[in-house]
Amino acid sequence: MQLMANISDILEDVRANTNGHENGNEVDSNYILIDIGANLTNKKFSRDVDAVVQRAKESGVQKIMVTGTNILVSKEALRLTRLFPDTLFSTAGIHPHDAKTFDETSEAEIESLLANPECVAVGECGLDFNRNFSPPETQLEVFEKQVALACRLRKPLFLHERDAHEEMMVVLKKYESSLPPSVLHCFTGNIAQAKAYLDLGLYIGITGYIWKDKTEDGVRKMLTDNVVPLDRLLVETDAPFMYPNTRSAKLPTDVKQVITQRSTTFLNRYCTFQRNEPCSLPCTVELIAALMGKQPEDVALATTYNALKLFGLSS
């Protein structure tokens, strides 16, 4: 009942904020979105984070989760939530790139951050064997410590995986009996990998990566085949990264045509390849809907409900 009350409250907020948009053809004026992953601590946002958050709200993105990638960034993410209460939330953890920074105090510091109600997930944590900025064995050790912490605290995991699916599955299956509901953030894998994560009870996070996916059995095919049900789908921008290139030549014209003028206006006016923003999220939601054969407002509402449910976000 509380979750439904949360959604009703957000709906009312969005209606109040979008009364100025009278074009009945632009259904995206009614979108209610939650961006579950934006790197607002990135230096690219250091001068205008207030404007970035305001633009997000105007586009329909009512709440944003700010990703923590190491102790310092996790602390800064939490600080931002205090500046934008009930709009920004944070995560706390050690990204695989930063696994080498994990020391004897790190776990206690992460746990301390997670004690704050605004800090709603453990992560960004996981494995990245594509770039190996930290040694693989160090990544594995630090990842497992964070999985164990999430299980003990019953906090969702905000997971990162690149070229390490099998190794990640080994760790997650080890804790399967106590694994809290969690999300595989910015999924870039294939259909078989998605099914394996779904079988573990994970949610799948989709970013602007779908605009550039060129694989035959990757994220786009996963969506067109409806491999991921709506009740396990989450949306995110990973800003300032993963710019949704709506001009991609790889997309059929009929798919491109579903992207509304209002959504592309936010994208073209405020976002670039160098700096994506949360206000670009409606474009990605519309593409997801087109690929799944669903209405964008249904994808928006379902993913918002999922985010409220998984992370316990307040209204």
Query: Would you say 160 is a known binding-site residue?
Result: yes
Q: Cis before residue 240, ω within 30 degrees of 0?
A: yes
Count of beta carbons in the 10 Å neighbourhood of residue 97: 17
Query: Would you say 103 is a known binding-site residue?
Result: no
Map the chain to HEC letters. CHHHHHHHHHHHHHHHHCCCCCCCCCHHHHCCEEEEEECCCCHHHCCCHHHHHHHHHHHCEEEEEECCCCHHHHHHHHHHHHHCCCCEEEEECCCHHHHHHCCCCHHHHHHHHHCCCCEEEEEEEEEECCCCCCCHHHHHHHHHHHHHHHHHHCCCEEEEEECCHHHHHHHHHHCHHHCCCCEECCCCCCHHHHHHHHHCCCEEEECHHHHCCCCCCCHHHHHHCCCCCHHHEEECCCCCCCCCCCCCCCCCHHHHCCCCHHHHHHHHHHCCCCCCCHHHHHHHHHHHHHHHCCCHHHHHHHHHHHHHHHHCCCC
Query: Would you say 95 is a known binding-site residue?
Result: no
Query: Would you say 238 is a known binding-site residue?
Result: yes
| Residues of each annotated binding site | 124, 160, 185, 238
| Residues of each annotated binding site for a divalent metal cation | 124, 160, 185, 238
